[in-house]
Amino acid sequence: MKAAFYAAAASLVAGASFAGGYVPPVVEQPVAVAQTRADVDWTGFYAGLQYGQGSLDASVPGVTVDAGDFDALGLHAGYLRDFGQFVLGGELDYNNVEHDDFDGSADLWRLRARAGYDMGKFQPYVTLGAARLSGEDAKETGLTYGIGADFLLTDNFSAGLEYSHADFSDVDGTNIDLDADMVQIRASYRF
């Protein structure tokens, strides 16, 4: 009887240990973190060079004519403040403007506000401000606005492309309006 008791006890213990079968341990998979934009801070001073080409239109009431093309080489300096998603700042730039069809040159100064969208190393932006054109025959202040984008090549260097328009009304009281459209490439050092 003892043998039967031990056999029954052994079968119960053995049966209980195999009742559910082998269950492998649960291994939790690591959670994949989605890549976010690079943590870039656009805050700070910057300065650089720019080169561009543009076209000039002259108009009097009722008539607009193509006044030719020009090249512009210049310098820019400004300050930006990164507010997380949005970047705001101001910029002063100078361009030496050489008209393709005329001798001589003109100075183009622009003081502009700048508002951009922080997309990591890429920042599209818009500008709005005042422009001052000074040549041998004329001097005038007008409105300028534009759109552009900068890309950070390193922590301190950026390259960009910008389109701008300047509107000079009633130049020196002559009833002639000048409109300038310009596309520039830019290189900046960020401090």
Residue 23, domain member (yes or no): no
pLDDT at 149: 98
Residue 165 lies in a domain: yes
pLDDT value of residue 38: 58
Most distant CA pair in the chain, distance:
128
The CB density around residue 59, as the number of other CB atoms within 10 Å, is 15
Is 112 a member of any domain? yes
In-domain check, residue 35: no
In a domain, 53, yes or no: yes
Closest by alpha carbon to 157, among 186, 127, 114, 124?
186
Note the pTM of the prediction, 2 decimals. 0.77
pLDDT digits (tens, 9 = 90+) for 73-120: 999 999 999 999 999 999 999 999 998 877 789 999 999 999 999 999
**Predicted pLDDT of residue 9:** 63
| One-letter amino acid for residue 184 of the chain | Q
- Whole-number Å distance between alpha carbons of 123 and 187: 14
pLDDT value for 26: 81
In a domain, 84, yes or no: yes
Query: Which structural domain range is residue 62 located in?
Result: 44-190
CATH of residue 95: 2.40.160.20
- pLDDT of res. 136: 82
Low-confidence ranges of the chain (pLDDT < 70): 1-21, 33-38
Count of the separate structural domains present in the chain: 1
Residue 6 in any domain: the answer is no
Judge whether 70 lies within some domain.
yes
